[in-house]
Amino acid sequence: MKINNFGASGVNPYKRQMNKFDQVDKLSNKAADKVEISTAAKEMQHVTQIENERQAKVEELKIQVENGTYKVSPKEVAKNILDFYKK
């Protein structure tokens, strides 16, 4: 019968592997990626214009719901649901 790794060297074979993971973690924390979007790119997206339009529509719907003038068309809702699931 032959016994390999007899002694202290074979006691914890996973310790070297864990040390490698620790070293990789330390290196990855130092070199973090960073993304910056320029103001020109933000203007191209028209994000503020869309947000303002969306906010105006939400406010209008809130007023209609509070006044009781908001009407839902069941046929329109059913049609949109079918169109959504057909895609």
Please, what sign has the CA dihedral across residues 5, 8, 14, 18? negative
Please, what sign has the CA dihedral across residues 75, 73, 76, 74? negative
Q: What are phi and psi of 74, to 5 degrees?
A: -60, -35
Confidence of residue 6 (pLDDT cuts 50, 70, 90): low
Over residues 76-86, mean pLDDT:
95
Secondary structure class of 46 (helix, strand, coil)? coil
User: So where are the chain's domains?
Assistant: 39-86
The pLDDT tens digits of the residues spanning 9-57 come to: 555 666 667 777 777 666 665 666 788 888 888 777 777 778 889 999 9
pLDDT for position 49? 79
Which amino acid belongs to residue 71?
K
CA-based R_g, the chain, Å? 31
